[in-house]
Amino acid sequence: HWLLRNKHSPVYQWPLLGMLPDLLFSFYNSTLHDLHTRALRRTGGTFLLKGPSFINADFMVTCDPANINHIFNKNAANYEKGRDFKAIMEALGDGIFNVDGESWKFQRKLLHSLLNNPEFECHAMHILTEKTRSTLLPILDRAELVDLQDVFKRFMFDNMCLLVLGFDPQYLPVEYEGGRLPENACGEAFDELEDVATYRHMVPICMWRLQNRLRIGMEWKFIRGSRTIDQFLYGRIKMKKQEFATKHYVGNDEQTKNKTDLLTQFLVMKDEDGRCDGKIIDKTSDKFLRDSMFTLLVAGRDTISAGLTWLIWCVANHPTVEKRILEEIRQVIAARPPEQVNGDEGGFLRSNELNKLVYLHATVCETLRLYPPVPYEHKCAVESDVLPSGHTVCKEERILFYIYAIARMEDIWGKDCMEFKPERWISERGTILHVPSYKFMTFLAGARTCLGKTMSFMQIKSMASALLWKYKFELTDNNPSARTTVGMVLYMKDGLKARVSRRDH
Ligand code: HEM
């Protein structure tokens, strides 16, 4: 019976241990995403991932657009993040990622008004351009061989700190000695907390809780990393509050207010505080500010840097795509009025110019389709339900959405789904095609769609155009299929090492 069952099982099932051995093997082997993709292909898009039979560790795994549409839109009220998610992502505290119900509604409204404000978007672009000009370009000008992934990650950490806290920790300093970028306790603590979250996804709750009590293994990393992050964030919050107490805040008019960091905006916003479970959420309390600022830093740092890393890799592997992008930028620059033409400005395009880059936009979409910075997500059923695929979900059962696998399904993206083809995003009229979020789920779907989507596109396009216009990146490893990390963020396992040379236009 066991052998017969395995004949039809998408992942090998061991007695007592279920699919855990194969999962762990592919986790340490960095092939976890491929294992899920293969299993989803075999099963038509949905299967039950069986954990060890002596603990409740089963997951329904799906990448079926009909199921996703059902869970995120049609019957969204029945699906929550759930208790486990909050425990796994403990470092995020009560930030928006980790909450449901009233607290989520309150934070969503608050963040929506801040992040999607045109003046704030303009401020974000200004910070990004200045930081690129003052740090990133000088480093790339000097570098011959560089790990672009490491540089982008550090750069985005500084950029997000400026945007969120109004402070630059200089994780990517302009000057550094010995050709190696220096260590930074806070930046590294972010990485450690992410590793812990991945580990907690894999290992049964009782096991990591015990390790936490004993302060050993990965859980010791969690304790140490949380302490570093808390010191950093509470320190910044205290300083900002002191600034407020000692000097009159100049930004009473709406325009100035929207052009400051998010921490300041949280403090000056006049909106009412929220309510959750009958209690009042005070949005200026240290704990609420810590959780919100940390969430925003996490939301923007890795997603954008991972997206940009994959984009440079994809473009470097597709010379025809690179040629078309450069041609598009050349046309936009050529259309500038003479008084705005400045040789050194190069690929630094203004927001209205970035909007004209349809092919670059399609390239970003295609990169984020094949390499979604958040490769999987999970939710929990409040009540039992039947999915459109016919699978029954029990009460409190967890569902894993394999965003990475969606792009690799022929039924969804066609026979050429594995190919990197920006053209698939462009309509006959030359505009960007709209693809529903349950098919292009990189920014999630439904009411919980990412609040930084517009900003991310602008930032990735701005950096990509500036870098591709100014430099040629020659990859040291010509492997057309790079290994991916298996963590919460999809990075390149071996980094992105490239030789950098300036282009002569
Ligand atoms: C390429 C870049 C990005 C990608 C791929 C991305 C992806 C995602 C995903 C998958 C989620 C759902 C997470 C969950 O529910 O657990 C999410 C939520 C969110 N993102 Fe992004 N994100 C990006 C950039 C940003 C940026 C730059 C910000 C702003 C600083 C941001 C702010 C948020 C917020 C506030 C939420 C929570 C929405 C909610 O729960 O209602 N994101 N994002």
How do residues 173-186 score in pLDDT, each as one tens digit?
A: 888 766 678 888 88
Integer Cα distance of 289 and 82 in angstroms: 23
pLDDT higher than 90, residue 7: no
Q: How far is CA 116 from CA 135, 258, 270, 463, in A?
A: 27, 11, 18, 20
Contact 500, 471 (CB under 8 A): yes
Integer Cα distance of 48 and 222 in angstroms: 30
Ligand 1 centroid vs 76 CA: distance in angstroms? 18
Contact 202, 196 (CB under 8 A): no
Q: Which stretch of 27-41, 133-147, 252-266, 475-489 has the lowest confidence by average pLDDT?
A: 252-266
Q: Which residue has the higher pLDDT, 312 or 201?
A: 312
Q: Which stretch of 47-56, 88-97, 149-158, 436-445 has the lowest confidence by average pLDDT?
A: 47-56
Contact 172, 155 (CB under 8 A): yes
Q: Whose CA is nearest to atom 32 of ligand 1?
A: 452
Q: How many helices (H) and strands (E) does the chain have?
A: 21, 12
Ligand 1 centroid vs 339 CA: distance in angstroms? 39
pLDDT of res. 20? 84
pLDDT grade for 228, boundaries at 50, 70 and 90: very high
CATH number of 1-88+376-406: 3.30.43.20
Q: Is the CB of 485 under 6 A from ligand 1?
A: no
Q: What is the DSSP string of 68-79?
A: HHIIIIITGGGE
HEC profile of 185-224: HHHHHHHHHHHHHHHHHHCCHHHHHHHHHHCCHHHHHHHH
How do residues 300-322 score in pLDDT, each as one tens digit?
A: 999 999 999 999 999 999 999 99
Q: How far is CA 247 from CA 119, 123, 251, 253, 289, in A?
A: 24, 23, 12, 16, 20
Q: Which residue has the higher pLDDT, 268 or 397?
A: 397
ipTM over 0.90: yes
Atom of ligand 1 nearest to the CA of 89: 16
pLDDT higher than 80, residue 340: no
pLDDT of res. 52? 78
> What class has domain 93-372+407-499?
mainly alpha
Q: Is the CB of 111 under 6 A from ligand 1?
A: yes
Q: Whose CA is nearest to atom 25 of ligand 1?
A: 452
Q: Is the CB of 97 under 6 A from ligand 1?
A: yes
Q: Is the CB of 464 under 6 A from ligand 1?
A: no
Contact 357, 462 (CB under 8 A): no
Q: Is the CB of 197 under 6 A from ligand 1?
A: no
Atom of ligand 1 nearest to the CA of 108: 41
pLDDT higher than 60, residue 344: no
Question: Does 450 count as an annotated binding residue?
Answer: yes
Q: Write the DSSP symbol of residue 16.
A: T
Q: Is the CB of 442 under 6 A from ligand 1?
A: yes
pLDDT higher than 70, residue 290: yes
pLDDT of res. 463? 95
Residues of the chain with CATH 1.10.630.10: 93-372+407-499
Residues of the chain with CATH 3.30.43.20: 1-88+376-406
Q: Which stretch of 77-81, 205-209, 396-400 has the lowest confidence by average pLDDT?
A: 205-209
Atom of ligand 1 nearest to the CA of 459: 27
